[in-house]
Structure 1
Amino acid sequence: MSSCVVIFSGGLDSTTVLYWALNRFSDVYAITFTYGQRHGIEVEMAAKIARNAGVKEHKIFDVDLSGIGGSALTDKSIDVPETHTVDEIKERGIPVTYVPFRNGIFISIAAAYAETRDCTDVAGGWNAVDYSGYPDCRPEFLKSMEEALNRGTRVGAEGKKWRIHAPLIKLTKGEIIRLGLSLGADYSYSISCYRGSEVPCGRCDSCVLRAKGWEEVGEEDHLIRRLKKEGKMTE
């Protein structure tokens, strides 16, 4: 029996990876973090997605990073910046929406959880193409974390090999969506907006990148379609 733990925010990328894992592993565990993020509605929606997808177990883990601060996602006194184009995102440096070492923290906890499930595969929606420039989304960072797990865990000491899977790392947002659709992914409840509303603001990095992806695919975003059907958005 092969198994995998998916770090699952409930956003578009991690939803794609969840379905990727479900198509490759017999048992899929999802772990979602409540870390003091202003867009906490994603946790509620993640539970719906995980349940509908049929994961073996969905764990919601509380690790409040708001006490550390330093990010517009965990400190409401810092405004989420507005973005108009993808080029604008790529031209600037690391944005204020970067949460210090978030992926390092999440991978560490996900690996501890995986170890209790006799699992050495961890997957996440990290991307180094259409992303906001976060340093903890880069291939070299993930490789270093994989090496740390192999050196610093019981299962690693016993000779088992950890594998950190990043199937989206070199894909554009449009390619990510196409992959998910080919795997049967439903994005109706995936939330990406940094401002914390179920209805996308359309102005943060995440909303701009997501809209670009669906435009590349040539389909209406499943989330937008659902919100229109429920009367939460107009045309």
Structure 2
Amino acid sequence: MINQKAIVVFSGGQDSTTCLFWAMKRFEEVIAVTFDYGQRHNLELQCAKEIAQELNIEHHILDMSLLNQLAPNALTRTDIEIKESDGELPSTFVDGRNHLFLSFAAVLAKQKGAKHIITGVCETDFSGYPDCRDVFVKSLNVTLNLAMDYQFVLDTPLMWLDKAETWELADELGAFDYIREKTLTCYNGIKGDGCGECPACKLRARGLEQYLEKRQGGDAR
């Protein structure tokens, strides 16, 4: 365990909760930060709050409602359809979201004396979001260090994992059942296995099925 503090950018979803358990194994003190940007489902904020309380994690919810005004999208507006089209970014992409989230997480981290900021972004199993790419995270890491004269480390434990491997990591962390039952990934606001129809649920379910097949095959041997 590293004798340092870490901040986890935390939504209460599968990926960020896996990152939270990952951080708890590695750092002496873990703080979670959740952003309220006018999400379609307030349940996401409640879910994050409940998980943080259950795991005894210091939790901050920051107001980012301006993002909703600047970048209308399907995650915040019920009148915008959730859809994915070939060659285009999904309607769930929010311009600047990860840039702003990580920047504000860094401000909080410096105030708390934390150098590590952990985010669940991934460019292996993702929807083409430009702000989930490794090159973006590395460039922002440099920018934040220069902007605040502070040696932040942006950790991305899921960056090169597909969803099946993310489930495997959750299992290795002893959090498989917890993450499957208590997290909220669904764009329609249904906890656990979700609605099964939205893009987020389909991606999560496909990874889960692939990992369970692998695990059962290993048990058989």
Same fold per TM (> 0.5)?
yes
Structure 1 runs, 4 residues or longer, greater than 6 Å off? none
Q: Does 1:107 align with 2:102?
A: yes
User: Please, which runs of 5 or more residues in structure 1 have no aligned partner?
Assistant: 84-88, 220-235
Q: Does 100-109 or 177-186 show the bigger shift?
A: 177-186
Are the counterparts in 1 of residues 125 and 162 from structure 2 also a CA contact under 8 Å? yes
Range with bigger deviation, 41-50 or 117-126: 41-50
Aligned to 1:167, what secondary structure does the other structure show?
Answer: coil
One of 34, 44, 47 as aligned partner of 1:45? 47
1:9 and 2:34 matched? no
Q: Match of 2:218?
A: none
- Given that 1:39 and 1:197 are in contact with CA atoms closer than 8 Å, whether structure 2 keeps it comes out as no
Normalising by structure 2, we get a TM-score of 0.88
Would you tell me which structure has more helix in proportion to its own residues? 2
SS at match of 1:58: strand
Structure 2 equivalent of residue 204 of structure 1:
198
Match of 2:216 in 1: none
Aligned residues: 206
Aligned match of 2:89: 94
Conservation of the 8 A alpha-carbon contact between 1:74 and 1:99: no
Distance in 2 (alpha carbons) for counterparts of 1:3 and 1:201: 36
Paired position in structure 2 for 1:58: 59
Q: Which amino acid aligns with 1:202?
A: G
Report if the CA contact (8 A) 1:4-1:25 is conserved. Answer: yes
Matched with 1:192 is 185
Is 2:139 the partner of 1:153?
no
Preserved CA contact (<8 Å) 1:114 1:122: yes
What displacement does 1:19 show?
Answer: 0.4
* Deviation digits for residues 141-179 of structure 1 (CA, Å, limit 9, x no counterpart): 00011001110004x2xxxx2100001000010100110
| Deviates most, 46-55 or 185-194 | 46-55
Q: Which has the higher contact order (CA 8 A, sep 6+)?
A: 1
Shift of 1:217: 1.7
**Residue type at the aligned position of 2:101:** F
After alignment, is 176-185 or 13-22 more displaced?
A: 176-185
Choose the corresponding residue for 1:217, options 182, 186, 211: 211
Does 1:162 pair with 2:168? no
Question: Hey, what's the Cα distance between the residues in 1 that align with 2:79 and 2:131?
Answer: 24
SS at match of 2:27: coil
SS at match of 2:70: coil
Q: Distance in 1 between matches of 2:41 and 2:87?
A: 23
Q: Distance in 2 between matches of 1:216 and 1:176?
A: 11
Q: Whole-Å Cα distance in 1 between the matches of residues 206 and 55 of structure 2?
A: 25
Q: 1:25 aligns with which of 6, 24, 27?
A: 27
> 1:129 Cα shift?
1.0
**Unpaired stretches in structure 2, ≥5 consecutive residues:** 214-221
The answer to whether the 8 A contact 1:46-1:189 is kept is no
Aligned equivalent of 1:228: none
Deviation at 1:196, TM superposition (A): 2.5
* Structure 1 residue 201: Cα displacement: 2.1
2:163 paired residue number: 173
Residue by residue over 1:194-221, the C-alpha shift from the partner in whole angstroms, topping out at 9 and shown as x without a partner, is: 12234722222111100011101218xx
